[in-house]
Amino acid sequence: MFARWGRFVYRFRWATLIASALLLGLSVVAILTGGPLTSSGSFGANLPAGQAAKLITTEIAAQGTTTGSSFSLIFSSGSLTATDPAFQKALEDAVASLSLDSRVTAVRTPYNVAAAQQAAFISKDSHQALVVVELKDGSLKAESYIAQVTGEVRPGPLSVVLTGEVPIDAGFNTTLEQDLQRAEYVALPITLLLLVLIFAAIVAALLPLGVGVLAIVGGFGGTVFLAHFTDVSQYATNVVTLIGLGVAIDYSLFIVNRFRDELFAGATREQAIATSMSTAGRAITFSGVTVAIGLSAMIFFQGTFLASMGAAGAIVVGIAVLYGLTFLPAALSVLGERVDWPMWLRQRLGARKPDGTGAWHSMAVWVMRRPWFVLVPALAVLVLAGSPFLQLRMAQGGVDQLPPNNTARQGYDTLVADFPGQDQTSIDAVVYYPDSSPLTSDRIGEVYDLSRRLAALPNVLRVESIVDVVPSLSKADYQRLLSGPQSSLPAALQQAVAIGSGSHIVLLNVVSNTQYTSDEARAIVKAVRAEHVTGGQVLATGNTAFDLDVVNFILGRTPIAVGSVILVTYIVLFLLTGSVVLPLKAVLTNLFSISASFGAMVWIFQQGHLSQQLGFTAQSIDPSVPVILFSIVFGMSMDYEVLLISRIQEEYRRTGDNQAGVAMGLEKSGRLITGAAAIMVAVFLAFGLSNFVIIKAIGIGLAVAIAIDATIVRILIVPAIMRILGRANWWAPRPLTWLHRRIGAGDSRPVVPAPARG
């Protein structure tokens, strides 16, 4: 089938190139007219914390109508304190014009807030003052004019730092855009240099790079087109570039190399294209399927930004395979021998060696002479490298995902460190009575008791609710007052009821002195959810509750996602090889390399090794990172497995000798796999230069995984295991062998009997 396709492309090469150009044009149109990408990586409307939050916004009008956003200004002086008249005048003059801006709804300073709130607006050393500016628009729209609004501030003798919701969101978006540009600027020239060294020809080197660019453009087009129908995270663009460039170059590398080999062996252009498609073309098709299967693990996490990233990755892989089977063979059909231009470069760098010689052949033979001696230490190294993963702690990333030198983050760090109460965590406990009002005498008594139990929990500073307004009132007083006419309540209680209760809920704000992703804060959430009330339920929401629910959501979906990916991959590899042994070997060795990359991720980013050199703050691992790493690494590892095993199988069928097939297959593909891996590592390390910790962790984790996979796994472990298994590598039960031949998806050529060893 693939050979026939190669002949078809050869005969209609110009039409195929025109069709590729039309597809490129459609991709550009899709990019220009695509739907908006979401800037938020958050999710969770269906999580327990999301359901509790929905009750609050539905039933408490004062909170439900909030649609704007805000930013903060921190004014400081080395000589004046915030209580000095000169400091006050300078601050009020600095922000005076903000009140006149129609986009600003309120400006809160230490000098115009209630006396009870004033302490929170002045730093602990009194040399800094906080100003909170509220805007009428949401954060996404406010980002477009935040620079204009802040430009109206005239600090005079004071210093000022900008932080808060809108600047931090803008910092995330700007950092992601800059990281993507930086990665492209670094990866492309390094990739071109490596391709020239691999091919020893400039034209041959430019072809994979061209396919990579086409795949990225097509991936962008498909991703933004998808945004018309569902939410697509802007992180998906990073995945498209990350995967698209690496995979497209990978696949092109093998096709171009096979085409050149066939021409060198004396084949015509048409024969060379047909053979290239029937071997390398078939391999990259199966490889694309396995990579897409790996990425599909993210689709199991519906309702999260991971699902759109998985879809975007699968789209760009599909387009990379499409161009690899159409544009690339058509271009090779036109170029022919000119693919080796300039010839003098190949004569200097790419001199061919006779079959059965060379470093890769020698390495394979050396490994297979002492397979257990190589296999045991190699596996031990991978197990040791993966051991830090046992200490994994997951938590959603916050402001510390931004680099320490980001101005908005620096302002946030100052706010938390220097202003009283800013380092506290609020957990919202929602007492929900689905059938009737909570403001009955018995239920108010239950809420009162609940408030006191929550206040007694470890690390809880206080509880704020409708039964905590006036400390001198007793339980009976609250029952009598709150169950009666609301109009007769004191003003303080009326306000508390308006913002702290609804037709079916009562809100209790539990204030803790712990960091919101800490185990202590999570323990408070669990304690809240463990409470019970008669005729109702106690829910929890807030940042800590969402953090805990997201981690549990990821952990709950992981087994079925991983199991499904492994099962489907096993089936695809069986269709490729006709063996039930090789797919099992592939899955197990891939899991070893994945565990090693996970261990490196924890060692670097959670435990903080190399944090100074890489410029980040050590922190818990965002729960999305292991999912993304597994999806990409599993797919990429299978990519190399397919490319290597397909060549080994080809040589095995030709010679009938398992050891000779392994040695020759590694000789023919080892250099390419290592070269492709070097390109992948360069691309991934370019993303490792990111200032955004999640992208940095993914880039470095992928680079480590690919480096391990292309060296320890493919060069040492695979030939050692295949030597130990011998002809059992290719075994399958007779019914499955018959099924494999019937389907015709694999190499159907008979195995040539091995010559007697002598």
CATH number at residue 368: 1.20.1640.10
Both 301 and 318 in a single domain?
Answer: yes
Residue 44 within a domain? no
- pLDDT greater than 90 at residue 508: yes
- pLDDT greater than 70 at residue 230: yes
pLDDT class of 64 with cuts at 50, 70, 90: very low
3-state helix, strand and coil shares in percent for the chain, rounded to the nearest 5: 70, 10, 25
CATH number at residue 139: 3.30.70.100
Q: What does the chain come to in residues? A: 758
Give Cα 406 distance to the centre of its chain: 21
- pLDDT greater than 70 at residue 58: yes
Both 347 and 365 in a single domain?
Answer: no
Residue 187 within a domain? no
Both 160 and 208 in a single domain?
Answer: no
User: For 326-440, where are the alpha helices, taking DSSP H only?
Assistant: 327-335, 343-349, 359-369, 371-386, 407-418
**Tens digits of residue pLDDT in 288-327:** 888 889 888 998 988 777 888 889 999 999 999 999 999 9
Q: What is the pLDDT of residue 354?
A: 62
Q: Which residue has the tokens 């590598």?
A: 729
Residue 85 within a domain? yes
Cβ(24)–Cβ(213) below 8 Å: no
Q: What is the pLDDT of residue 666?
A: 86
**Which burial class, exposed, middle or buried, applies to 495 when counting CB atoms under 10 A from its CB (0-12, 13-18, 19+)?**
middle
Q: Is 80 in a helix, a strand, or coil?
A: coil
Q: In what order do the strands lie in the sheet with 128-135?
A: 104-108, 128-135, 69-76, 159-163
Q: Cβ of 752: how many Cβ atoms within 10 Å?
A: 12
Both 582 and 698 in a single domain?
Answer: yes
Both 206 and 270 in a single domain?
Answer: yes
Residue 46 within a domain? no
d(CA 441, CA 483): 6
Both 207 and 321 in a single domain?
Answer: yes
CA 6 vs CA 212, 259, 269, 327, 328: distances in Å:
21, 11, 10, 11, 11
Both 690 and 584 in a single domain?
Answer: yes
pLDDT exceeding 70 applies to what percent of the chain? 94
Both 531 and 502 in a single domain?
Answer: yes
Both 215 and 318 in a single domain?
Answer: yes
pLDDT class of 40 with cuts at 50, 70, 90: low
Range scoring the smallest mean pLDDT among 60-74, 448-462, 556-570? 60-74
**Tens digits of residue pLDDT in 65-110:** 456 889 999 999 999 999 999 999 999 999 999 999 999 999 999 9
d(CA 316, CA 350): 31
Residue 188 within a domain? no
Tokens matching residue 51: 């359901």
Residue 348 within a domain? yes
**Residues 662-667, mean pLDDT to the nearest whole number:** 86
**Tens digits of residue pLDDT in 321-351:** 999 999 999 999 999 988 888 765 555 555 5
Cβ(533)–Cβ(435) below 8 Å: no
Out of 25-34, 189-198, 524-533, the most confident range is: 524-533
Q: Cβ of 480: how many Cβ atoms within 10 Å?
A: 13
**Residues 490-501, mean pLDDT to the nearest whole number:** 87
Both 139 and 240 in a single domain?
Answer: no
Q: Which residue has the tokens 């015709």?
A: 744
pLDDT exceeding 90 applies to what percent of the chain? 49
Cβ(232)–Cβ(34) below 8 Å: no
Residue 38 within a domain? no
Range scoring the smallest mean pLDDT among 32-46, 386-400, 706-720? 32-46
Q: What is the mean pLDDT of the chain?
A: 88
Tokens matching residue 414: 């100052």
- pLDDT greater than 80 at residue 446: yes
Cβ(258)–Cβ(280) below 8 Å: yes
Can you give the residue range of the structural domain that contains 683?
Answer: 355-389+563-741
pLDDT class of 397 with cuts at 50, 70, 90: confident
Count of domains in the chain? 4
Q: Judging by DSSP bridges, how do beta strands 159-163 and 425-432 pair with one another?
A: unpaired
**Residues 242-246, mean pLDDT to the nearest whole number:** 85
d(CA 139, CA 40): 11
Both 110 and 239 in a single domain?
Answer: no
Number of continuous H segments (helices) and E segments (strands) in the chain:
31, 8
Both 585 and 734 in a single domain?
Answer: yes
- In terms of pLDDT, which residue wins out, 80 or 246? 80
Cβ(124)–Cβ(418) below 8 Å: yes
Residue 413 within a domain? yes
pTM value? 0.84
DSSP assignment of 197-237 equals HHHS-HHHHHHHHHHHHHHHHHHHHHHHHHTTTS--BTHHH
Q: What is the pLDDT of residue 428?
A: 95
Tell me which amino acid residue 328 is.
Answer: L
Candidates 237, 241, 250, 236; CA nearest to 291 is 250
